[in-house]
A and B are shown apart, each in its own frame.
Chain A
Amino acid sequence: MPVTLLVGDGPLLGQLAIQPSCYSRLVNKWYCTDYLKDRHHDLTSALGQHLQITAWSLVLGILIAFPLALLARRVPWLQGLILGTSTMIYTIPSLALFPLLVPFTGISMNTVVIGLALYALTILVRSMLAGLLGVPEEVRESATGLGYGPMRLLVRVELPLALPVIMAGLRVATVSTVALTTVGTLVSYGGLGNLIRDGVQNNFKAEILAASVLCVVLAVVLDAVIVGAQWAATPWTHRRRTA
């Protein structure tokens, strides 16, 4: 392409004329730093939406899972029902669950958030119940003997002891929620999934790869954050080593 055809004499235009950008249709590379530079607004806003959907889903999942786990522990015959129902929801493919929610929630972010919360719920109820049931009976009895009421027993004794198991469940739920959020693109709320879908439709390789990698990075980072939070929240598990 001759440079003389271009109006203006900026260095940028000169470069463009000599070499088409690596994400232009002609070149269409998988890895392209120019794309990251030029379109970082697309990426950050998609990442923001992704994070928002993931966070709300997990918060909603925890808020529903916790009372269910307490209920399942108190009423043994409800345990099978709660675990069975949540497992059944878990078997519904995500691409089918979102459409089934649409008659109730419409085409909105709620559809994705509620759907993902239902998936997270299954993992969370299981780990919360396992964690609470794992608290040794003697510990519970000694706390009661010391005068702990049921609420204080739960918050001060049982939850801290169950925390490692609960956190392990939260990690699994978080990582899979980040991955599943991409499917939300079906109703146009898929965070980075929206970019992947756009990339597939337009055969835009740099966009597909950048969004996919960001997705995995987000999962890894959130996982690390939870591990860090757990470390900070359970000082008794590592105090001896640091002292």
Chain B
Amino acid sequence: MRNLRDAWHYLTTGANWGGSEGMWHLLVQQLLLTVTALAAAMLIGLTLALWLGHLGRAGFLAVNVTNVGRAVPTFALLAILVTLRHPGTATLGPYGRAGLATLIALTLFALPPIFTNAYVAVREVAAPVKESATGMGMTGSQRFWRVELPLSMPLIVSGIRLALVQVWATATIAALVAGPGLGTLITEGFYRTDYPKGIAAAFVVAVVAFVLEVGSALLERAVDPNRKGTATRSGLPRDRVASGVGG
């Protein structure tokens, strides 16, 4: 219990937040990592998934990518990437030490939910809808942009949301292998038996995770065209759960 009180003391001491080793700096660094990796994963994953989904090919990828992603421990992949010569442990601009290796690993772990959701979303657009689009004289690309994409938006966005929360968690684990971000305070705290410091940083990480989860859920609700009318009537908590963690 003394650890809890000391952790609170650590959190409320202004000096621990400022400076280049302070919590603000590390928090911004980790958010930057998360956003960059998510953007990279969206660029790769969405392009690939929407294209393959539109063509209706390579369905086995959608299933297997998720399963493999789950079985490979984040920590193990990070360890291998950091130890590999190529990505290296060098500092990368604002991304901090082992920045590149961390970014690669984060992008890899953001891919499965983004890819699977986007692929399934486009693939599962009802066949009669697609047929009527073609019947109306739409070309393949018109059908994709005007029919398939708008209809798949909710599922695509929920995949991105899953990825966001997952990338934040993975970015924290990066600290176990000398990566950047708030996780460094947690590992330092535990390896040097300064538990209050580790617990305080863990608290900040958890709070940001909540904020990201709830914030993106609200954003998802705002983006979803089908829910606008009913969202205010059906209760908020159950709706959020329904669209919540899927894997």
Contact = CB atoms under 8 A, between A and B. Distances in A.
Contact of A193 (B75, B175, B209, B240): B75
A216 B71 contact: yes
A176 B70 contact: yes
Contacts of B177: 197, 200
Interface string A46-59: 00000000000000
A100 B190 CA distance: 12
Interface stretch (A35-43, A143-151, A157-165, A203-211): A203-211
Contacts of A193: 73, 75
Contacts of B170: 93
A209 B183 CA distance: 23
B176 A80 contact: no
A122 B246 CA distance: 10
Contacts of B76: 182, 196, 208, 211-212, 215-216
Nearest to B193: A107
* Chain B interface size, under 10 / 10 to 19 / 20 to 34 / 35 or more: 35 or more
Contact of B241 (A87, A94, A196, A200): A87
A84 B176 contact: no
Interface in A177-209: 178-180, 182-183, 185-187, 193, 196-197, 199-200, 203, 205, 208-209
Interface stretch (B9-17, B120-128, B198-206): B198-206
9 closest Cβ pairs, A-B complex: A93-B169, A212-B76, A99-B202, A96-B202, A96-B205, A179-B73, A93-B172, A219-B71, A182-B75
22 contacts: A84-B237, A84-B240, A87-B244, A88-B210, A91-B213, A93-B173, A93-B205, A96-B205, A96-B209, A99-B190, A99-B195, A99-B198, A99-B202, A100-B206, A103-B4, A193-B73, A197-B176, A200-B83, A200-B177, A200-B178, A208-B80, A212-B76
